[in-house]
Amino acid sequence: SLSESPCFSYVLLKLKEMFNSKFGSIPKFYVRAPGRVNIIGEHIDYCGYSVLPMAVEQDVLIAVEPVKTYALQLANTNPLYPDFSTSANNVQIDKTKPLWHNYFLCGLKGIQEHFGLSNLTGMNCLVDGNIPPSSGLSSSSALVCCAGLVTLTVLGRSLSKVELAEICAKSERYIGTEGGGMDQSISFLAEEGTAKLIEFSPLRATDVKLPSGAVFVIANSCVEMNKAATSHFNIRVMECRLAAKLLAKYKSLQWDKVLRLEEVQAKLGISLEEMLSVTEDALHPEPYNPEEICRCLGISLEELRTQILSPNTQDVLIFKLYQRAKHVYSEAARVLQFKKICEEAPENMVQLLGELMNQSHMSCRDMYECSCPELDQLVDICRKFGAQGSRLTGAGWGGCTVSIVPADRLPSFLANVHKAYYQRSDGSLAPEKQSLFATKPGGGALVLLEA
């Protein structure tokens, strides 16, 4: 297991030495929380639909020493991330700048508010991590989860993994991102050797056994995308919300109570395939402007702005409701098909799973418009050199691709992709060892006491 591996012991020892030189003392305990790769099910968790991620071995690791004062001191092993200190009693999270320490504060504040505590004990924390930032592998959520577990441990309280995941999913929204909860759930609920189907309300996780004859390979496009710093992500969340309301209104449901596309399907009691045909009937492919949305719902522009739109989407002039709903309902169906193929394990399962991943990428690119030229190019290169399927993973607009590769083709696949994408003649990409790697399902968050 992870905590017994010699490599991990070395990482802890190095972190302990850095902690000592930074704070002049020894950490009492360590917490790790992994990043994740979403195999299929992109941009649908916040619509209420199940997703299929696995934890990666890369993680965030924090060395912690509780102190008697109320001072919270955060340091990072990476010199790009400056030290930060504040009073543990007065945690302010600045939404305008997604700085690294704000993600720590999200996790801390979530636990603090859950227990209704006004006073928190102070602590010294040294944060280390090897998840590439802004790559779509959930480095920020891993930091939120890690900080939540750190705070819980310092308080000497206990919560179930499901409760922790739900608290951290909610608290990450303090940073201004309206995410769904997949990243925090897999960080806590992951188990070594298996991917998970994560379902929401109520939150639960089911093992999904991946094919033994194939490997999942992550390739970083090296285009960084910071979810909290861009409005793309929150606009998509809002387009899905508006699509749900228009679909509900079209079907004479109580639309003002509806927030997610999944709720419309649940209220109508019909299949995902049937929801796709309702979408065809109810919505048009041409973009909607705010005035037309108001006409459809019978409300004023003022009501739309103040009661439905979030502050960061109030000035958006066009909403592509048809395309976003089509993506969500078709992607939700692909997740269920993926799980079913893994369970039934037919002879050609790697090919079938690959086809679903390819369809997912096409939908992300054309209907959800969350790809970018570099991701599309990388996906094409991966397919050309032996991937049975390849798609963007994470929010998109940059970050990583995930590919399913037959195990016997792995060495040539890695060599060829490295040459075709990372060794460009113009030398524009710094080849990082973090950029292209095979991965296997890792374990979830844990606490290690200093022996």
Q: What domains sit in the chain, N to C, each tagged with a CATH number?
A: 6-209+441-448 (3.30.230.10)
What proportions of the chain, in percent to the nearest 5, are helix, strand and coil? 45, 20, 35
CB 196 within 8 A of CB 53: yes
Cβ within 8 Å of residue 35, ≥6 positions away = 55, 56, 58, 59, 60, 131, 137, 138, 139, 141, 142, 187
Q: What is the pLDDT of residue 381?
A: 98
Query: Catalytic: 94?
Result: no
Phi and psi of 345, rounded to 5°?
45, 60
Which residues of the chain have a pLDDT value below 50?
A: none
Distance (Å, whole) CA 66 – CA 282: 57
Rounded-to-integer distance, Cα 328 and Cα 364, Å: 9
Dihedral of CA atoms 424, 430, 431, 432 in degrees, nearest 10, equals -160
pLDDT of residue 333: 98
Query: What pTM did the predictor assign?
Result: 0.93
Q: Please choose, from the candidates 174, 154, 173, 180, the residue with its C-alpha nearest in 3D space to the C-alpha of residue 46.
A: 180
| List 45, 59, 128, 183, catalytic entry | 183
Contact 185, 203 (CB under 8 A): yes
CA distances from 351 to 344, 384, 400 (A): 14, 14, 21
Q: Which two tokens stand for residue 115?
A: 């227990």
Taking the CA atoms of residue 21, residue 24, residue 30 and residue 35 in that order, the dihedral angle to the nearest 10 degrees is -40
Please name the residue that has the structure tokens 């490295």.
418
